[in-house]
Amino acid sequence: MNILVTGCAGLIGWKVSEKLLEHGHRVIGVDNLNSYYDPRLKEYRLEQLKKFENFKFYKVNIENREALRILFQEFEFDAVINEAARAGVRYSIQNPHIYFTTNTLGNLNLLELMKEFGVKKLILASTSSLYAGQPMPFKEELPVNTPISPYAASKKAAEVTAYTYHYLYGIDVVILRYFTVYGLAGRPDMAVFNFIYKTLKGIPIKVYGDGSQKRDFTYVDDVAEATVKALNLKGYEIINVGNNKPRALKELIELIEKYTGKEVKVEYGDFHKADMRDTWADITKAKRLLGWEPKTSLEEGVKKTVEWFLENWDWVKDLRV
């Protein structure tokens, strides 16, 4: 298949692209390489993808519909996997407009071009942040109408727009609600990367709350596998992609101490209003429709991530985090 992967230099987009290429697909990857976090991480991920003959990269922002149009004209895409997004709950409160121009309008640009060029399959990356205020474990049929951050609201808007295009134009849509994804060369604004980096540097980490809040930490390779499997589905589906084993932040800190051999210095702050207290994915639907369940425990995932840090510390130590 010829597959357009947006956000291919992001953590999930990178691993999804890699898995597609390993399966023999051709990947046309786009990313705007923005500086929300240190671009050297994105450059590292891209270098890994450029080792594959079937990979082509274009520096394109999905907000730019005419630039995207050129790619749709040049390549006959069989599917679009939209992993491009402005991420980060807290930063979305400071700068909400870019979250909607990228996450909502950027997705609309893709849908319009899919309609125009007859591309009939979209996989859209969404988020567990939509489940704020809902009972756990989170099931896909819950009403997600109370987003507590502009980030979550922009993703909800993208989801319902995708449904509209499925209904009107017969585009197959699979929405994957990812749960706290982490892994090698991850995002510096997320706990696993941030805490390991600062511990290795001897810098205190910041915990908002008392550390008892839980997250359904999901290893990126498992997430990529679920995403590729979703290409086989038809119709309109929303599917949780999570580890189904919520773990407290305190447990994550203990694992980082275990695998780095260093003490984690913690500074506690007030719990952030836009953060969710706990997340927990019900993955019954993923098992049934995708034949998928996660393989990587938090222990194994943190160990692998610490090993990556140590192997790459010569350049990682200088990152802006």
Q: At what angle do helices 298-311 and 249-260 cross, to 10 degrees?
A: 40
- Residue 288 contacts by C-beta under 8 Å, 6 or more apart in sequence? none
Which two structure tokens, joined as six digits, stand for 54? 């079937």
On the 0-12 / 13-18 / 19+ scale of CB atoms within 10 A, 191 is buried
Q: How does 162-185 read in b/e, with b if 16+ C-beta sit within 10 Å?
A: beebbeeeebbbbbbbbbbbbbbb
- List the catalytic residue out of 151, 197, 219, 259: 151
* Sign, CA torsion 239/130/185/13: positive
Would you tell me how many other CB atoms lie within 10 Å of the CB of residue 293?
A: 14
Q: Is 151 designated active site?
A: yes
Q: Which residues are catalytic?
A: 151
